[in-house]
């Protein structure tokens, strides 16, 4: 269900809106495929998959939604070739040797418009989990930029739902110690934080223009060479870790989690899924339960979470006037 995770803190006084009202708002913004000349389209899809029509799933008090995005990527080379053809044709027709920037821009827009219907589409989906008890929002994304876009669209939907006041006020979780600094300390001291172990994958990068990079894959990291790279100025950008022998993941220098995987000990004893059960409820309960315990331990390992006053501003959409006055 989650292969990556970006963490957001939500308002302490936030409560989930009525499920029926949220479902109605999500249905109004459900996913529709790209039109012939549309470069991108996004909307909400059923978290359970195509066999369901429900867009807001509540499992054990946890809310799960999923955003689908479809794009028509155009190769830059194809656009360039089309524009150059138009420029050459323009020169022949007008006799002008120089083509102004405004005309070139028009040619580019025309090229994109003509190429889009022939471009193949690429579709991806991102799961979002809201934990109203521990006041976290988790996005299945290893990129904060990508996660921000998804959260912004969720905020837009919530702004249309009466009963969501106070707002979600989602802000990226920030810690006292940066993930890069913490990972450097763990590697140099060869001592993982309590409850964690360091695995056998790591990336170190020099923070300069050259970006000299050293990668270790399936290699012990308890060697002098790793500490020497850190002493020379290289910064850990990725580090494979395991939490309590239950969840393995790769921590990035921006405190995102990638390659998230539940280990066998977590799945032992789980009953086989019935013929009529898609397994969604069980998967959701297990995953959210593990992450709800892992997140506080990870934040503690990074020196603790910054208070709202010291952290960056939150993401919040403005409510329409009629809702703000309600």
Q: What is the pLDDT of residues 263-280, one digit of tens each?
A: 999 988 665 544 446 789
Does residue 89 carry a pLDDT above 50? yes
What secondary structure letter does DSSP report for 55?
S
Does residue 1 carry a pLDDT above 60? yes
Neighbours of 258 (CB within 10 A): 17
* C-beta of residue 142 within 8 angstroms of C-beta of residue 260: no
* C-beta of residue 39 within 8 angstroms of C-beta of residue 80: no
Q: Which segments within 53-153 are labelled E, that is strand?
A: 57-59, 62-71, 122-131, 136-139
Q: What is the pLDDT of residues 126-183, one digit of tens each?
A: 999 999 999 999 999 999 999 999 999 999 999 888 766 667 889 999 999 999 999 9
Q: Which segments within the chain are labelled E, that is strand?
A: 6-9, 40-45, 57-59, 62-71, 122-131, 136-139, 171-172, 196-205, 213-216, 235-243, 247-252, 257-262
Burial of 1 (0-12, 13-18, 19+ CB in 10 A): middle
Tokens of 249: 């993941």
Reported as a pLDDT band with limits 50, 70 and 90, residue 116 is: confident
pTM of this prediction?
0.84
């Amino acid at each position: 269900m989650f292969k990556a995770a970006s963490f957001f803190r939500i308002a302490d006084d936030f409560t989930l809106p009525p499920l029926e009202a949220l479902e109605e708002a999500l249905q109004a913004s459900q996913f529709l495929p790209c039109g012939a000349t549309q470069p991108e389209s996004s909307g909400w899809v059923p978290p359970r998959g195509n066999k369901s029509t429900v867009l807001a799933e509540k499992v054990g008090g946890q809310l799960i939604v999923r955003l689908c995005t479809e794009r028509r990527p155009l190769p830059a080379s194809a656009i360039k070739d089309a524009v150059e053809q138009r420029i050459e044709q323009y020169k022949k027709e007008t006799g002008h040797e120089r083509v102004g920037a405004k005309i070139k821009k028009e040619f580019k827009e025309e090229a994109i418009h003509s190429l889009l219907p022939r471009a193949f589409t690429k579709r991806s989906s991102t799961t979002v989990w809201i934990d109203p008890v521990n006041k976290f929002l988790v996005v299945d994304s290893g990129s904060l930029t990508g996660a921000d876009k998804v959260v912004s669209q969720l905020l837009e939907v919530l702004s249309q739902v009466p009963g969501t006041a106070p707002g979600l006020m989602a802000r990226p979780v920030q810690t006292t110690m940066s993930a890069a600094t913490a990972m450097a300390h763990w590697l140099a001291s060869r001592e993982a934080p309590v409850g964690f172990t360091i695995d056998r994958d790591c990336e170190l990068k020099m923070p300069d223009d050259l970006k000299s990079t050293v990668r270790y894959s399936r290699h012990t990291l308890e060697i002098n060479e790793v500490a020497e790279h850190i002493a020379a100025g290289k910064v850990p950008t990725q580090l494979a870790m395991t939490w309590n022998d239950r969840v393995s993941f790769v921590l990035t220098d921006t405190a995102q989690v990638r390659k998230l995987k539940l280990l066998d000990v977590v799945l032992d004893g789980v009953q086989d899924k019935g013929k009529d059960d898609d397994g969604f409820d069980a998967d959701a309960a297990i995953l959210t339960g593990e992450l709800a315990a892992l997140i506080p331990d990870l934040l503690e390992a990074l020196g603790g979470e910054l208070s709202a006053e010291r952290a960056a501003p939150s993401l919040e959409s403005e409510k329409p006037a009629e809702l703000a006055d309600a």
